[in-house]
Structure 1
């Protein structure tokens, strides 16, 4: 499966377990990333909040920016 552009997301923190993140795609469809350690989920949410556009490849379990970022942009 190719990577898909993310339009929205939802985060679920499970008591006594990891977190789940649901990624909704432009043009429809969604994938769920389940039972992620809380620290990793927080990192993913930070990327989803601050980097745009973002994509996800479910087969590779890879979250990425769609465009290269310039080095040293002081973010």
Structure 2
């Protein structure tokens, strides 16, 4: 599966255990990133909040910026 542009997300914390993040795609569809530690989930959420646009490849479990970014953006 190719990467898809992420437009929305939802977070689910399983108290005392793990977290999951649902990512929703431009044009429809969604996937869930499961079994994340709280630290991993926090990192993923930080990327989704602060980077735009983002994509997700469910097969590779790879979250990435859609294109290259210049160094030193001060984000």
- The bucket for the TM-score relative to the shorter chain is over 0.9
Structure-2 residue corresponding to 1:28: 28
Within a 5 Å distance, the mapping from 1:3-42 to structure 2 comes to: 3-42=3-42
TM-score normalised by the chain length of structure 1: 0.96
Q: 1: distance between equivalents of 2:53 and 2:74?
A: 18
Q: 1: distance between equivalents of 2:53 and 2:23?
A: 13
TM-score normalised by the chain length of structure 2: 0.96
Compute the displacement of 1:73 (Å): 1.6
Structure-1 residue corresponding to 2:44: 44
- When the two structures are aligned, how many residues end up with a matched partner? 75
Question: What is the RMSD of the two structures over their aligned residues, measured on CA atoms?
Answer: 0.7
Compute the displacement of 1:69 (Å): 0.7
Q: Which runs of 5+ in 2 are unaligned?
A: none
